[in-house]
Amino acid sequence: MHKNKSRGAAVIAGIDHFVLTVRSVDDTCAFYQRVLGFERLDEPDRPTALLFGTQKINVHEVGHTFEPKAKAATPGAGDFCLIATRPLVEICASLAANGVVIEVGPVERVGARGAMMSVYFRDPDGNLVEVSEYRS
């Protein structure tokens, strides 16, 4: 496990969800469903969500956002890392099969839990998506 001696006792256990502001909810959901196998959830009076593992991404469409929201909610401003449940080689194959260009990788990185291998690509809004596999 990656240790940083300057850290205090964390009061946060993990991430439940984050929000992406997008040009098109349908295009964004179709991309994440097709490329990464996320599940779309639509509920009345709630943001559309993309479910994966025990987390989700809430998807707000420009002009149809929910309150409260980020001060400058803008499509393409996202930059995040997701941990794969399958070998990175399978993720790369899925990206290639779906015409998604890998911008960087596979490359070695250091994540919250230590050494990992990562690939970087962009979603339809230009958000930078990093998908990683921790080294055993």
Other Cβ atoms closer than 10 A to 106: 18
* Options 61, 108, 130, 133, the catalytic residue: 130
**Does 43 qualify as catalytic in the annotation?**
no
Task: Please answer whether residues 69 and 58 qualify as being in contact, where contact means their C-beta atoms are separated by less than 8 angstroms.
Answer: no
Per-residue buried b or exposed e for 38-58, using 16+ beta carbons within 10 Å of the residue's own CB: bebeeeeeebbbbebeeebbb
Of the candidates 103, 97, 93, 105, the residue with the CA atom closest to the CA atom of residue 123: 103
By annotation, the residues acting in catalysis are 130
